[in-house]
């Protein structure tokens, strides 16, 4: 129960309360199960206070200091909490429905199973917050910081996450969105899912439910947080079963994302994450092989084969070559050569740091080249075959090339019109690669190089022609 003397002092006003608090900083504040709906607590110093089960619905707590406060099952519905400090506060199953938390500091707060439905969290700091199974339906999280936050199995249906920042931070290598619930009303426009330095967002087993993913810049997501944690050595020291689970989860996350991206016709992005899944699958096979070898080694316990392998290993350790290698190693370490090696290593390290700083520019330049090449190829395919939907365009180019080269043969190589047409047709369909077909007629033999050029063009048009008709009439 609440301390009645403290309640009476708090009722006198925030100024008097703060003066008392400054004089008694070590005094434990117990306001549990109290009805504080008639109080005005803006800018009150309530650090570490116990509000367990208290009713703070509609109370003005703007800019109050509630760091490390205990608000388990507290009612904070429609409470005014702008710029409040709730760092490392304990809000398990607290009701914050429709609460106004604009610019609030909730870094490291425990909000497990808290109800934040329709809460306003614009520009709120939720770095490292624990939001497992929290209800954030309809919550407004624009420009909020969620780096390192744990939202797994949370509900984000209808939530507005525009320009929210996710990923890792100084203490955690990822934001955990595993198993969260989205729907088609969830807004993910311009959301940041992490970076190479601090990590990305875990997305395994997310319930996407037709959320629009086209509004996210996927080019900035070089890998999912499920994979990034593996690359950062997050599995080292864990049991083999845990390592297998991490790899399998990362592969599953990529495949699940590929499926939803393909459903939304984002094929290039889907192909990239499909590739990431294949890379992880190869590493998973390596880990499974290592696990199998370890199990085999355990099965050999006490057998003659294991004893033999152990003796061979000990014998190799005793032979002179290993002693010589150790002696050489000690000599190198004590010599000038070792300092040279160290200097080279430092140079390589500095070069690597330089590469890391310029990597973003290299990626950007590569992206420009890739997009430029893709644009040229797309323009070519569109002009040649209408991207596979206009076979009549391919036929037009076929006729144009055949008759065009026929004119060249007729005008420049003194062939008759019919002979020029026959020569153009045979060259177009591949016989231009065999100049011997032109031998025997001294007038057209010099046309062999032109015939080879026509043959190359012919192959490209024929491939396009076959692919276009296959797509048009067989639906593939």
68-82, 139-153, 162-176, 189-203: least confidently modelled range? 162-176
Q: What is the mean pLDDT of residues 388-407?
A: 84
124-133, 156-165, 291-300: least confidently modelled range? 291-300
> In the predicted model, what is the mean pLDDT of the chain?
85
Highest mean pLDDT among 116-130, 235-249, 440-454: 116-130
User: Residue 289: what pLDDT?
Assistant: 81
pLDDT band for position 237 (50/70/90)? low
Please enumerate, as own/partner, the contacts of 450-457 that have beta carbons within 8 Å and a separation of 24 or more. 450/405, 450/408, 450/409, 451/423, 451/427, 452/427, 454/401, 454/405, 454/424, 454/427, 454/428, 455/427, 455/428, 455/429, 455/430, 455/431, 457/401, 457/428
Tokens read off for 340: 């040279």
User: Residue 238: what pLDDT?
Assistant: 67
pLDDT band for position 449 (50/70/90)? confident
pLDDT band for position 476 (50/70/90)? very low
Task: Judge whether residue 149 has pLDDT over 80.
Answer: yes
94-103, 160-169, 291-300: least confidently modelled range? 291-300
User: Residue 459: what pLDDT?
Assistant: 85
Q: What would the pLDDT profile of 166-201 be if each residue is shown by its tens digit?
A: 987 666 668 999 999 999 999 999 999 988 888 889
* Exposure string over 31-53, b if 16+ CB within 10 A, otherwise e: bbebebeebbbbbbbbbbbbbbb
């Amino acid at each position: 129960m609440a301390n009645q003397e403290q309640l009476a002092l708090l009722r006198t006003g925030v100024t008097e309360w703060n003066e008392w608090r400054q004089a008694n900083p070590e005094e434990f504040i117990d306001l549990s199960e109290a009805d504080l709906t008639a109080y005005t607590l803006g800018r009150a110093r309530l650090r570490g206070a116990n509000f367990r089960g208290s009713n703070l619905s509609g109370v003005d707590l703007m800019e109050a200091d509630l760091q490390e406060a205990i608000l388990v099952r507290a009612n904070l519905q429609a409470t005014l909490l702008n710029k409040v400090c709730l760092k490392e506060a304990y809000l398990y199953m607290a009701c914050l429905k429709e609460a106004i938390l604009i610019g609030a500091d909730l870094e490291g707060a425990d909000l497990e199973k808290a109800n934040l439905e329709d809460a306003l969290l614009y520009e709120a700091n939720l770095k490292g917050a624990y939001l497992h199974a929290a209800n954030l339906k309809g919550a407004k999280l624009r420009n909020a910081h969620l780096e390192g936050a744990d939202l797994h199995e949370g509900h984000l249906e209808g939530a507005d996450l525009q320009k929210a920042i996710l990923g890792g931070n100084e203490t955690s290598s990822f934001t955990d969105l595993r198993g969260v619930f989205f729907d088609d009303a969830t807004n993910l426009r311009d959301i940041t899912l992490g970076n190479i330095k601090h990590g990305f967002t875990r997305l395994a087993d997310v319930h996407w439910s037709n959320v629009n993913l086209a509004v996210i810049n996927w080019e900035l997501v070089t890998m999912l947080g499920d994979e990034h944690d593996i690359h950062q050595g997050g599995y080292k020291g864990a049991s083999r079963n845990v390592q297998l689970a991490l790899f399998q989860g990362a592969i599953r996350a990529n495949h699940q994302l590929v499926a939803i991206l393909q459903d939304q016709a984002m094929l290039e992005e889907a192909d990239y994450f499909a590739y990431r899944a294949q890379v992880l699958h190869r590493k998973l096979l390596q880990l499974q092989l290592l696990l199998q070898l370890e199990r085999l080694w355990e099965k050999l316990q006490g057998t003659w084969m294991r004893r033999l392998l152990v003796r061979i290993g000990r014998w190799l350790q005793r032979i002179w070559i290993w002693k010589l290698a150790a002696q050489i190693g000690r000599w190198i370490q004590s010599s000038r050569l070792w300092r040279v090696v160290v200097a080279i290593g430092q140079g390589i390290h500095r070069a690597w740091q330089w590469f890391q700083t310029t990597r973003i520019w290299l990626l950007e330049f590569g992206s420009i080249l890739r997009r430029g090449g893709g644009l040229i190829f797309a323009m070519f395919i569109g002009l040649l075959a209408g991207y596979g939907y206009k076979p009549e365009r391919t036929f037009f180019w076929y006729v144009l090339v055949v008759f065009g080269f026929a004119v060249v043969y007729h005008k420049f190589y003194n062939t008759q019109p019919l002979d020029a047409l026959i020569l153009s047709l045979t060259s177009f369909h591949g016989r231009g690669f065999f100049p011997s077909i032109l031998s025997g007629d001294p007038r057209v033999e010099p046309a062999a190089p032109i015939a080879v050029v026509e043959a190359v063009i012919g192959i490209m048009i024929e491939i396009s022609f076959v692919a276009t008709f296959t797509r048009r009439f067989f639906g593939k």
